[in-house]
Amino acid sequence: MFEGLPNEYDIIVVGTGIVESILAAACARIGKTVLHIDTNEYYGSEWSSFTLNGLTEWIQTQENPVTNINPQDDNERIMPIGNPLNVFRNIQLKWNIEKTNEQSSTTTENDTPKITLDVLEKQSRKFNIDLTPKLYYATGGLIDLLIQSNVGKYCEFKLVSRLLFENNGQLDNVPSSRADIFNSNNISLIDKRLLMKVIMNCSSMAIEDLNEDENIPFIEYLKKQKLNDTLCHLIINSISMVDYNATTKEGIIKAKRYLDSIGRYGNSPFLYPLYGNGEMSQCFCRLCAVFGGTYFLRFPLAGFTIDSLTNQCSGIVATTGERFRAKDAVICNNSFMESISSNKNVIHRTVLFTNQSIKSSEKDEITYVRLSSPNEFGIHIIEVGSGSGCIPDGFFLLYIFQEKPQENINQIVERLLNLTGDNFTRANILGQLTFDQVETLSTSISSPVLKLLLTHGPDGSIDHDGAVNTARNIFHQIYSNGEEFLARAPDPEDIVIEDDGNTNDTSTTNTNTENENL
């Protein structure tokens, strides 16, 4: 099984989630030898995307047997792994359509084909269903990292072309620019001017300029600017995207991020990856492999080897007994820790399979809605159609999750149906996947040994900021002598190989040119 595989590396990375994949790429980029493994047969861990048949298989294979390994000597201790799939709980997939069309033999050419599960399964490979749907701010965070590292050449994005918000019992478009505001028929001329003034202030002001307003509730600050309740709700919910108990400082920071992102790639602050969020982990894995990283999926991991004298993690051990050593560190997703099974902080996630958009449009839209009110945490709704490469033509994926679980999913769906009216009804919901995902960022556990550095899974936000920050911090924790975190990788045309007769010297040029063509 391990024939030809070296047994010593600078870094061993366990798990192929986005945090681990960024770290593997960053370490390989500075010339470190990297072994990157996953016990799953697919990339992405908790951040994966599946075909329809792949999703069914994932639901059915939630067991990961544990093997006990004995220490080689008195100086070695074995820390067994837990089941990383324990971060997923209460998984249910329910279809509201028949398995097959028993009447198919009697249909005529004029009949509309009936949607059955067989029809969808025949197009399984056209599905890319995210376990962790996320959006990407056009500035900062992961997008800037993709540009900085040149990993962006491995992926493609589409603009999130439609932003909606809850207004007077229906879904209205969020005005995202000056033109949108002044073309809106739902806002009076005086309110347009007030709204524009506040937005310009949010975009340009420094946090220090807030003075005594910095720590007051953001809603109070907005009302001091003479905005009515509807416009306050618009800014809090759909521009700053904070809860009603947020401070003015929090609200302004989030609003600036939103407003700064508009215009970089179009009239929207958000991008969505073609073929689903699972692509992101694989993009960073490709960079790691280009710089010599070694990959091993379905790795039979049994545990971590610990030096009993120094309490340092020295590497990993397979179920077959083979040891693999790490000189600098072992990086591991904390889902492999046995203690994660007792974590009760979860994110309720739902995926609806539909044959109708929540709001009709002549274009193929990627839609984002954030629902909130003064007494609840934000509810995120992302809808993707066939243009995203995630679902066959004529169908839609509707992702629903809440930053902090509060409402029952059936209540959220009912609330959405009330907002969509006759345009989108329960009859348009073909199937529903629900599951709970353990939120390990805010309850991150510390490593019990030295040189075993723990990463985390997704949180309940819509962006990747937490993942990028964790990866950067861990990298600098391991390599603190000024090593650059994910320096730009050269394009093939930038590589010049000079042969002096003895050695091959590879140099790069044009490495400081920013590439924003994602």
How far is the C-alpha of 351 from the C-alpha of 433, rounded, in Å? 5
279 and 257 housed in the same domain: no
If asked whether residues 191 and 239 sit together in one domain, one would say yes
Residues 249 and 289 in one domain: no
CA distance 406 to 359: 26
* Residue 234 sits in the same domain as residue 286: no
Do 279 and 239 belong together in one domain? no
CATH number where 231 lies: 1.10.405.10
Residue 508 domain flag: no
Same domain flag for 332 and 445: yes
Q: Is residue 270 part of a domain?
A: no
Q: Which range, of 241-245, 300-304, 338-342, 487-491, averages the lowest pLDDT?
A: 338-342
Same domain, 333 and 219: no
Q: Tell me whether residue 138 is in a domain.
A: no
On whether both 210 and 281 belong to a single domain, the answer is: no
Per-residue pLDDT for 16 more than 80? yes
DSSP 56-100: HHHHH-----------SSTTEEEEE---GGGGEEEEEEEESS-SS
Distances, alpha carbon 420 to alpha carbons 165, 172, 231, 238, in Å:
12, 10, 21, 18
CATH number of the domain that 305 lies in? 3.50.50.60
In angstroms, the Cα distances linking 398 to 56, 158, 277, 408 are: 18, 17, 14, 16
Instruction: Please tell me whether residues 250 and 188 are part of one structural domain.
Output: yes
- More confident position, 94 or 508: 94
196 & 313 share domain: no
Q: Please calculate the CA angle 357-379-187 and round it to the nearest 5 degrees.
A: 70
**Mean residue pLDDT across the chain:** 88
Q: Which of 204, 239, 261 is the last residue of a domain?
A: 261
Task: Give per-residue pLDDT as tens, 456-509.
Answer: 999 989 999 999 999 999 999 999 999 999 999 887 666 565 555 554 443 333
Q: Is the pLDDT of residue 120 over 90?
A: yes
Give 313's contacts (C-beta < 8 A, 6+ positions apart). 79, 304, 305, 306, 307, 326, 329, 330, 449, 450, 451, 452
Which one, of 12, 2, 18, lies nearest residue 34 by Cα? 12
For position 280, what pLDDT does the model report?
95
Residue 183 lies in a domain: yes
Assess contact for 149 and 29: CB atoms under 8 A: yes
d(CA 511, CA 284): 18
Same domain, 53 and 194: no
Number of domains in the chain: 2
Tell me the per-residue pLDDT of 191-211, one tens digit each, with 9 for 90 and over.
889 999 999 988 888 887 888
pLDDT given at position 278: 93
Q: What pLDDT does 512 receive? A: 39
The domain of 313 spans 8-86+275-342+441-478
**What pTM did the predictor assign?**
0.90
Q: Is the pLDDT of residue 514 over 60?
A: no
What is the per-residue pLDDT for 108? Answer: 55
